[in-house]
Amino acid sequence: MCPSAETLLNTLDALALKPSGFDGAVDNDGSHESRVAVSDGLPRYLTSIVSNALDWIEDESTREKIWETASERLSERSGRTAMPSIDRTFYVPISVVPSSAKIPIILREPSLTADNLGHKTWGASYLLAKRLPLLSQYLPVLQRRGLCGRAHHPAQESKTAHDGGGISSPRVLELGAGTGLVGIAAAATFGAGVDLTDLPGICENLTYNALCNQEVITSHGGSLTAFPLDWSDLPSAGSVRGQQYDVIMAADPLYSPEHPVMLADTIAVYLVAKSSSRVVVELPLREAYQPEVDRFRDTMKGKGLTIITEGEEVGYDDWGNGAQEVRCWWGIWAWGDWLTEGGTECATGHAIIG
């Protein structure tokens, strides 16, 4: 006896795999993720549905739905690059208070190809997004607004920035934003205006994600804008004066030998020349890209930027099948004269924190 269309669709729905969490054995919201066991015979079963005429099901649109759903279940088991567009929800803290609630950030990730890796949310981005409340103590523009090392009170912060007190919201730029996780988290965590930037081919999805999260961002005093920025076609620093940023952020942006110098050049153009300016970067320590990491650090030093605090942490990526551990390095830079010019920085020297 052939199964009914309803039975087939219910079975295929039950076989759906959620996008893997980046916290190892637990999902992004902290709950343990339930998954259907994948047996060796399951791909064969799904292939048999796709190749079957299903001629006992009279409605053509229903047959098409069954074939399409079976194909999706197959692609979910063929690695991330074979998967269709997916939506992920990441839960990130916006306060240093352990008991405070996390905010949900919803991101669309289109299907991947080798030339649009920015359409994937990488583990380094998730790690940095979660670390932002802890790093705020090293960002003087937040200290001046009363955020350094304190709980998050969005309504009060927004009032401070706009009630005539003379304390403006910090300007934050994310370079190589990809799906936008770090910049979106920063807008909520810092109550700041954040510009998300990437190559033109990435920006359509980046804009979509910014709009999807607009409500939660504005409720925490932040704002978002997304636009293209090509590191290979930069204006002069003088021509962007007045349009520069207090904080520049980037996560996992190095994918070619040219990128370290291009990224450092872009930072030097767009970072305000003040002792309070900061650059926040998180980089995965992949063996194949270690020369790029080293060159980036050397180039930043050559630009006159100094690491004031750094550390390492471990997260997960899902580039292959299932979650894979990835070790990441993060660091914060300031202009080399920050110790002698500043008197209001939260940090008072170089530190290593985990």
Whether residue 115 is predicted with pLDDT greater than 60 in this model: the reply is no
In sequence order, the 6+-apart residues with CB closer than 8 A to the CB of 51 are: none
pLDDT at 126: 93
pLDDT at 211: 96
pLDDT at 121: 86
Exposure string (b/e) for 22-44, b if CB count within 10 Å is 16 or more? Answer: bbeeebbeeeeeeeeeeeeeeee
Whether residue 346 is predicted with pLDDT greater than 50 in this model: the reply is no
Residue with tokens 């199964």: 3
**Higher pLDDT pick, 339 / 195:** 195
Q: How confident is the model at residue 107 (pLDDT cuts 50, 70, 90)?
A: very high
Percentage of the chain beyond pLDDT 70 is 73
Q: Region 234-241: what's the mean pLDDT? A: 80
pLDDT at 114: 52
pLDDT at 77: 63
Whether residue 17 is predicted with pLDDT greater than 70 in this model: the reply is no
- Cα separation, 150 vs 139, in Å, equals 13
Q: How many CA atoms does the CB half-sphere of 21 hold within 13 Å?
A: 16
Q: Which residues pair with 348 in a beta bridge?
A: none
Tell me how far the alpha carbon of residue 217 is from its chain's centroid: 15
**Higher pLDDT pick, 348 / 293:** 293
Residue pLDDT, tens place only, 253-290: 998 999 999 999 999 999 999 999 999 999 999 888 89
Q: How confident is the model at residue 323 (pLDDT cuts 50, 70, 90)?
A: low
Q: Residue 286 corresponds to which amino acid?
A: R
pTM here is 0.74
pLDDT at 28: 43
Whether residue 336 is predicted with pLDDT greater than 70 in this model: the reply is yes
Residue 184: name the closest of 216, 153, 152, 227 by CA. 216
pLDDT at 31: 39
Q: Region 107-123: what's the mean pLDDT? A: 73
Contact 219, 191 (CB under 8 A): no
Contact 180, 225 (CB under 8 A): no
In sequence order, the 6+-apart residues with CB closer than 8 A to the CB of 93 are: 100, 102, 130, 133
pLDDT at 344: 39
CA distance between the termini of the chain: 61
Residue pLDDT, tens place only, 292-317: 999 999 999 999 999 999 999 998 88
pLDDT at 170: 84
Whether residue 168 is predicted with pLDDT greater than 80 in this model: the reply is no
- Cα separation, 81 vs 260, in Å, equals 26
State residue 284 phi and psi, 5-degree precision: -70, 145
Percentage of the chain beyond pLDDT 90 is 45
- Cα separation, 110 vs 179, in Å, equals 10
Residue pLDDT, tens place only, 51-101: 888 888 889 899 888 888 777 766 666 655 556 678 888 999 988 877 777
Whether residue 174 is predicted with pLDDT greater than 70 in this model: the reply is yes
DSSP state of 239: G
Lowest mean pLDDT: which of 153-157, 230-234, 299-303? 153-157
CA 307, 285, 345: angle at the middle one, nearest 5? 20
Whether residue 210 is predicted with pLDDT greater than 80 in this model: the reply is yes
Q: How confident is the model at residue 50 (pLDDT cuts 50, 70, 90)?
A: confident
Question: Can you count the helices (H) and strands (E) in the chain?
Answer: 12, 10
